[in-house]
Structure 1
Amino acid sequence: MAQNAVAERVHKWLGELPSGWRGARLLEVSDAWTSNVDKHTVEGQPPVRLCNYVDVYQNDSIVDSLDFMVATATREQIKRFRVRVGDTLITKDSETADDIGIPAFVEYEAKDLICGYHLAIVRPDRRKAVPKFLYWVLRSEPIARQWGVTAAGVTRVGIRSTDLNKVTIPLPPLDEQSAVAGFLDYETAQIDALVAKQEELLTLLAERRRSVLDRVLSEVGGERRRLRWLYRSSSVANKPNEEVLSVYRDHGVIPKASRSDNFNKTPENVDRYLLVRPHDLVVNKMKAWQGSLGVSAHRGIVSGDYEVLRPTTLDLDPDFAHFILRSPELILEYRVRSRGIRPSQWRLYWQDLADISVAVPPLAEQRSAASRIKTETDAIDSLIAQAREHIAFAKERRSALITAAVTGQIDVRTAWTAG
């Protein structure tokens, strides 16, 4: 009975493994424990460098070039949470289950470098698991699914320390583990290089797009008027049957359902969502400083955390308004006028936005400028969309390749030879 239960569990999470492979609990091949070292400096404690959540979340590897936070820790904490080459660090809690279990492989160690709060250390028994193979296993989709199921919490979800070691992993012989690790090191490096080139292209295209806006809008004259004389704040709500809209930095105001990358869940009760009409200006107060606002072409509703501004005059063409209000010059103004201690807390309120002035030339001049911008940026936007598609496809292929390799769906020796 016990053997059947183990076989069922392994098959449930890992599928059919090749001959000679088996499924194992993480605790069978490694030690794993969570850190309690917070970002504090306490007089009398030894100084340390903390490897923190963002260091793991934003990087595949922990290397000496990272800018680690300086703090202090007790001698017991330094002994227990000092990281070693070959460890894998994982994020153990976050606001969403998608962000837990993200691994980074430790390639650098020092006597003062320790693992910070919100992270866990996985230290393999090298007699049973090749360190880099274990990292790639923890990077794979079957493990991510298990973290998602075991995650607990309401406003913040996390992996309980009692569940950390229970995750089921594939375990081939050591020589095959080494082969898989080497294969994935090489193949993912090739994919990452392609992604990096596409991201460089995106940067160049974004610069070109900004230059179009700067050039065309710099040629526009007209009386400067404060936004408070062009818009008024609207609080019309209780329209639950309207389509839900969202505001994107790159796309402006669009139907939320038109994108598959918006993971913010719409609540069941949307009575407090604000009504948006075509030509309304919608501002994401938290991200306006990043350019997350736009003039809507759609009717619908948005979160009450947004600002909906209704035009009070016909002197401003909606297309022209959309471009000028999302111009680099004004986005810098939003950054300056946003309130908050740190960027994650910044908010741009109507009372501060209302004092910004914009040029309002004659309508014919506005429409001509908007048409020129649209013509030039449409071609750039098409190239941007293609580059993003290439990046998304490459990342999907990378993820699928990792899962296939660590679960034995592909014979890496054959694949490597063929490659």
Structure 2
Amino acid sequence: MRFEEQRRLIALLKEKRQAVISHAVTKGLDPAAPMKPSGIDWLGDIPAHWEAVQVRRVFAGFEQGWSPDCHAKPAAYGEWGVLKTGCVNGGIFRDTENKTLPEETEPCVRLEVMPGDLVMSRASGSPQLIGSMALVQNTQPKLMLSDKLFRILLQDAQEPAFIAWLFGSNPIREQIVLAISGAEGMANNLPQSKIKEILVPLVPQDEQQQIAAYLDAQTRRMDTLTAEAERAITLLQERRSALISAAVTGKIDVRDTIPNSTEAA
């Protein structure tokens, strides 16, 4: 495929990925399930046995981090560091997005992020990234939450993996954008009070587990295809650069590929 075809494929895969996530977390996995109006424009119809509730019914609390002065470089393994807001961009936790805590600064041990934590950004230079949430699968030790990150504590019978997928869906993202714009004097910030008002489906725990497992499998396939397309683009770009370089330096003879002006006449 050419560059344009590969780029179109990547765009389609990203669009499909988002649609699959949004449908699964708001409509469920059973196409034959009876539906009912949620009463909420963002959600539309939901399975009849689900409820539409405010996030305050799902979240048990928030733990906010701390942002001391840090070195710009990432912390080496075993060093203390402070996570940056970019650690949750795209719904994927990246422990490399951190800054080293100076040796003379005492760490706040209770703010260390652990596998299984649900981390959410409350502020960012880019409004599109505010409210990004990711489940911590693996992480190097001694990384702390910054003051622009929340650790989300859930009510009983709530699955962190499902909630992470839910907050990456279009219906929830639309509400987050409105919550940011409605927070007067709090530009590029998402306060706890606004998060608690977001409307979400209340889903039985066993279905949450099934949906999370389904989305793990489906998105893994699409992410693999996207990575392959990105590698193909890189390879095509490298080949193109190599050909141009060879032609410019005379390593290949391109005279026979250029139409003769006399013949053309």
**Aligned match of 1:28:** 57
CA contact (8 A) 1:124 1:131 kept: yes
In structure 2, the CA distance between the partners of 1:189 and 1:121, relative to structure 1 (3 Å rule), is same
CA contact (8 A) 1:32 1:165 kept: no
CA RMSD after TM alignment: 3.2
**Aligned match of 1:95:** 125
CA distance in 2, matches of 1:199, 1:129: 36
**Aligned match of 2:81:** 49
CA contact (8 A) 2:85 2:124 kept: no
Give the CA deviation at 1:213.
2.6
**Secondary structure at the counterpart of residue 14 of structure 1:** coil
Give the CA deviation at 1:146.
0.7
State whether structure 2 residue 176 is matched by structure 1 residue 144: no
Give the CA deviation at 1:155.
10
In structure 2, the CA distance between the partners of 1:129 and 1:103, relative to structure 1 (3 Å rule), is same
Give the CA deviation at 1:39.
4.8
User: In the alignment, which of 199, 208, 230 is matched to residue 177 of structure 1?
Assistant: 208
In structure 2, the CA distance between the partners of 1:174 and 1:28, relative to structure 1 (3 Å rule), is same
In structure 2, the CA distance between the partners of 1:212 and 1:109, relative to structure 1 (3 Å rule), is closer
CA contact (8 A) 1:92 1:158 kept: yes
**Aligned match of 1:164:** 195
Give the CA deviation at 1:41.
4.7
**Aligned match of 1:40:** 69
**Aligned match of 1:203:** 234
**Aligned match of 2:145:** 115
**Secondary structure at the counterpart of residue 11 of structure 1:** coil
In structure 1, stretches of 5+ residues that fail to align are 1-6, 221-367, 373-419
In structure 2, the CA distance between the partners of 1:98 and 1:27, relative to structure 1 (3 Å rule), is same
In structure 2, the CA distance between the partners of 1:54 and 1:130, relative to structure 1 (3 Å rule), is same
**Aligned match of 1:216:** 247
* TM superposition score normalised by structure 2: 0.67
In structure 2, the CA distance between the partners of 1:166 and 1:105, relative to structure 1 (3 Å rule), is same
**Aligned match of 1:194:** 225
CA distance in 2, matches of 1:132, 1:35: 20
Q: How many residues align?
A: 209
In structure 2, the CA distance between the partners of 1:34 and 1:219, relative to structure 1 (3 Å rule), is farther
1:207-240 residue CA offsets vs partner (Å, 9 max, x unmatched): 11211332233349xxxxxxxxxxxxxxxxxxxx
1:349-406 residue CA offsets vs partner (Å, 9 max, x unmatched): xxxxxxxxxxxxxxxxxxx99x97xxxxxxxxxxxxxxxxxxxxxxxxxxxxxxxxxx
CA distance in 2, matches of 1:31, 1:113: 23
Give the CA deviation at 1:167.
1.6
Identity of aligned residues (%): 22
* TM superposition score normalised by structure 1: 0.44
CA distance in 2, matches of 1:10, 1:88: 28
Give the stretch that moved more between structures: 151-160 or 96-105. Answer: 151-160
In structure 2, stretches of 5+ residues that fail to align are 1-35, 72-78, 259-265
CA contact (8 A) 2:179 2:190 kept: yes
**Secondary structure at the counterpart of residue 162 of structure 2:** helix
1:161-215 residue CA offsets vs partner (Å, 9 max, x unmatched): 3212222111211111111011001111011111011011011011112113322
CA distance in 1, matches of 2:160, 2:186: 33
Higher relative contact order structure (alpha carbons within 8 Å, sequence separation ≥ 6): 2
1:37 partner letter: W
